[in-house]
A = this chain, B = another copy of it.
Amino acid sequence: MSPANDEATEVLEDRSVASLLERGRTLSTPLLKQAVARLAAPMDAVAAYHFGWIDADGRPAHGDGGKAVRPALALLSAEAAGAAPEVGVPGAVAVELVHNFSLLHDDLMDGDEQRRHRDTVWKVHGPAQAILVGDALFALANEVLLELGTVEGARALRRLTVAARKLIDGQAQDISYEHRDRVTVEECLEMEGNKTGALLACAVSVGAVLGGADDTVADALEDYGHHLGLAFQAVDDLLGIWGEPATTGKQTWSDLRQRKKSLPVVAALAAGGEASEELARLLAADAEETENGDLDEAEFAHRAALIEKAGGREWTSEEARRQHATAIEALHRVDMPEQVRRNLVALADFVVVREK
């Protein structure tokens, strides 16, 4: 470790996860709002609604803007490279913009009507606005990093672009899996690595790259972020079936309604045995119908119980723990201030125990 890094560590401290998330939100929101304010009307208002800054009638709101795990990671990423957390801010904002671009488009493609306890953008403002504002957020992510006018900004954007493409690949796989009878556990993990792992990985490298870290360090950080993303998604898949709607902001049995071939489902189908076979028969019959909308609560609950009985719930919990352990392992291969490492471990711990 260089003396400069040692010096930087002096101002670092162990923080609670809540304060790490809060710091990420507080430091990145002004630049995020500045970027969104550049959009022409009505796209600026549509984006502000999506981020929870205004309600559907345009009145100021303090809506749930998401957990903000990615901004927190981007600032820690800068600190991991011995830079000030502020150095990671444009990276945090660019990653958030790409994340929200994908949410806007995915909610439309998936027909999701609720996100963060509110109606989704396509539902309130129509499909065209969901497409346009998603496109605009993607373009703004480029702007934020390129306006730095530095080699590091361009390097960071190159990584972000790779992540964005994986995100798109993952969504394409997700959609195609919904129309297939069988998806292997490996296919599901690959899809989730693309859909969630890639952008979390980028969040963990982007600050370091902006802080001047070389590709070896950035790659190692991305390794942590990739497995953290898979742990994150495994928990998301559990919440997508057994999550508390009041807490998650989604409908009950959300992923079952959408016929998502998420980890608990594919693990249950792969397990074999009585419950697994009954589940397979039911899902095959559901697939004959155009919509899952006419299934009642009890029918969804029955499917969820079969998934649990076949071991899909337990396997997915185990998988979250496995990915969490691999992420922590990757973290120990990178040379960084110890406080930063402890904060990254704390965030990883949080990701696997969260309830929304």
Contact = CB atoms under 8 A, between A and B. Distances in A.
B161 A142 contact: yes
Number of copies of this chain that the complex holds? 2
Interface stretch (A171-179, A226-234, A251-259): A171-179
A42 interface: yes
Interface stretch (A59-67, A145-153, A216-224, A319-327): A145-153
A255 B274 CA distance: 59
Interface string A25-42: 000000000000011101
A132 B168 contact: yes
Given A43-B172, A132-B109, A154 B161 contact: no
B109 A128 contact: yes
Given A154-B146, A158-B146, A172-B42, A136 B108 contact: no
A127 interface: yes
A143 B109 CA distance: 25
B168 A135 contact: yes
Given A42-B172, A162-B143, A131 B109 contact: yes
Contacts of A282: none
A319 B101 CA distance: 37
Interface residues of A, number: 39
A356 to B, nearest CB: 27
Nearest to A109: B128
A40 B172 contact: yes
10 contacts: A39-B169, A40-B172, A105-B131, A131-B131, A134-B135, A135-B168, A146-B154, A146-B158, A146-B161, A147-B158
Interface of A: 38-40, 42-43, 101, 105, 108-109, 127-128, 131-132, 134-136, 138-140, 142-143, 146-147, 151, 153-154, 157-158, 161-162, 164-165, 168-169, 171-173, 175-176
Looking at A108, A127, A168, A171, which has the most chain B CB atoms within 10 Å of its CB?
A168
A132 B176 contact: no
A156 to B, nearest CB: 10
Contacts of A40: 169, 172-173
B168 A139 contact: yes
Looking at A43, A109, A143, A154, which has the most chain B CB atoms within 10 Å of its CB?
A154
A55 B255 CA distance: 35
B154 A139 contact: no
B164 A139 contact: yes
A109 B127 contact: yes
A32 B95 CA distance: 27
A142 B136 CA distance: 14
Contacts of A157: 142, 146, 154, 157
A64 B108 CA distance: 30
Contacts of A143: 158, 161-162, 165
A151 B165 CA distance: 23
B136 A168 contact: yes
Nearest to A161: B142
Given A108-B131, A135-B168, 9 more contacts: A38-B165, A109-B131, A132-B168, A139-B168, A140-B165, A142-B164, A146-B157, A151-B151, A151-B154
